Structure 1
Amino acid sequence: MAYPEKLLAEDEEIVRHLHPHWLTVFWPIVAFLLIVGGASFGAAVIPVGSNQGLYRLLVIATAVVLLIAFVVVPVLRWRTTHYVVTTHRLLFRQGILARHGRDIGLSRITDVSYRQSVWERLINSGTLIIESAGDSGATVLRQIPDSDGVQQLLNHMIEEDADRRAQENAGYIRGEEPYRPGEGGHPTTRF
C-alpha cells in the first residue's frame, strides 16, 4: 500500500517508504500455525457426546481470541507503521486505531546514525537514531530494514535539501523563480 500522496506538500515526493523489518511478523506467523494446529487437535479429541458441539465451540472461540491477540494485532501494527523519507522531511506514523506520528524536516536533522547487532547485520535490519534541532530529543526508529542504507539515504537527502534551499534563497534574492526539483534543469543565473 503506497503512502497517501494527499499528505504531501505540492512539490514533495516520496523517496522511500518502509515498514518495520518483515521478521517482526515471524513470531505472529508461528503463533498462527500453533494456534490453528492446537485448536484443530483440541476439537478432534473431544469425545462424542451431548456436549461435544459446545466444547468444540469453546475451543474455536478460544482460538479466535488467541488469533486476534497474538496474530492479527501484531500484523496490523506492522502494517500500519510507516517510515517515509520524502524530498523535504522524514515522516513516522504508527497505530491501528489510535495513531501517533512525527514529522522531522530534513533541514532540522542534525545527525543520523544507526546501530546493528550481529543478528541484525545477518538479517539486514537495525535501529536508526535521528537527532534534530529542538527540545524533543532523539527519535529512535527500531527494526528498520536496510538501516545503514536508509542512514546513507537520509544523509544524502539532507544535503540535497540544503542545496535546494540555498538555490531557492539565491533565486529569491535575485528575484528569480525558485528552483523546484523535477521541473527540468537548474535555475538560470542572471548577471
Structure 2
Amino acid sequence: MSYIEGSLIKDEKVLHLGRISWWSLTPWILGGLLLLPLFGAGLLVWLVGYVRYKTTELAITNKRVIVKLGFIRRQTVEISISKVESIQVDQSLWGRVFNFGSLVITGSGSSQAPIHAISDPLGFRRAFVEAQEVA
C-alpha cells in the first residue's frame, strides 16, 4: 500500500496522481553509466535514482494536497485544499521542452512546500484548481 492510499480519510478520493520526471534522474543515469565499469558501482547509483523515483508520491484529493518524499528519511507535506493560497510553477527552457518543472505550494500563514522536478507541472496545477472549485 502506498503512503497516499494509507493516509486517505473517510470520503476522501484521489483526483490526480503526480510523479517526478525521468528527466530529473539524468544525473543518476549518467553517473551510473560512468561508474558501471568500476566493479558495478553504477548499478548502485541507478538503484538510488530508481528508489528516489518510486518513493516520491504526489496526489491531489478532494480534501487536500499530499506530497511524500523519501524512503528511509521520509518528508511529507499535507495541506488542506481550502488552506492552499497558490501553486507556483517554475519551468526552465528544458523543462518546457521535456514537460517537467518545480512547484511551490503556498499555504495560508506563508508556509511553502517546494517540490522539484515534477512531470507535467501544469497538469498538476490544473487538477488542483479543478479540485479547489469542487470543494
Aligned-residue offset at 1:158: 1.1
Instruction: Judge conservation of contact 2:3–2:68 (CA < 8 Å) in 1.
Output: no
Letter in 1 for 2:20: P
The C-alpha deviation readout for 1:123-156, integer Å capped at 9, x for no partner, is 0111112111125x22111111111121121112
Bigger radius of gyration: 1
Given that 1:94 and 1:100 are in contact with CA atoms closer than 8 Å, whether structure 2 keeps it comes out as yes
The runs of 5 or more residues in structure 2 that have no matched partner are none
In the other structure, the counterpart of 1:181 is none
The structure 1 residue matched to 2:133, chosen from 159, 164, 179, is 159
Query: Do the aligned partners of 2:101 and 2:116 also contact (CA within 8 Å) in 1?
Result: yes
Give the structure, 1 or 2, with the largest relative contact order (CA under 8 Å, sep 6 or more): 2
Matches within 5 A, 1:32-51: 32-36=32-36, 38-39=37-38
Aligned to 1:12: 12
Q: Residues of 2 paired with 1:130 and 1:6: CA distance?
A: 22
| TM-score (normalizing by structure 1) | 0.63
% identical aligned pairs: 25
Is contact 1:112–1:155 with CA below 8 Å preserved after alignment? no
Q: Distance in 2 between matches of 1:105 and 1:112?
A: 13
How far 1:28 sits from its partner (Å)?
Answer: 2.3
State the superposition RMSD in angstroms: 2.0
Alpha-carbon shift at residue 3 of structure 1 (Å):
5.7
Structure 1 unaligned regions, length at least 5:
40-59, 162-191
Read off the aligned partner of 1:67 and give its amino acid letter: L
1:74-109 deviation line (CA, Å, top 9, x unaligned)? 221121011111111111111121212010000101
* Preserved contact between residue 111 and residue 132 of structure 1 (Cα < 8 Å): yes
Q: Give the aligned length.
A: 135
What is the CA–CA distance in structure 2 between the aligned matches of 1:9 and 1:101, rounded to whole Å? 16
The letter for the 2-side match of 1:5 is: E
How far apart in 2 are the matches of 1:132 and 1:100? 17
Question: Which TM-score applies when normalising by structure 2?
Answer: 0.86
Q: Which residue, 91, 94, 119 being the options, matches 2:69?
A: 94
Runs of 4+ more than 6 Å apart: none
Mapped pair 1:78 → 2:45: no
For residues 103-182 of structure 1, what are the structure 2 equivalents within 5 Å?
A: 103-134=78-109, 137-161=111-135
Structure richer in helix, relative to its length: 1
* Contact 1:129–1:141 under 8 Å retained in 2: yes
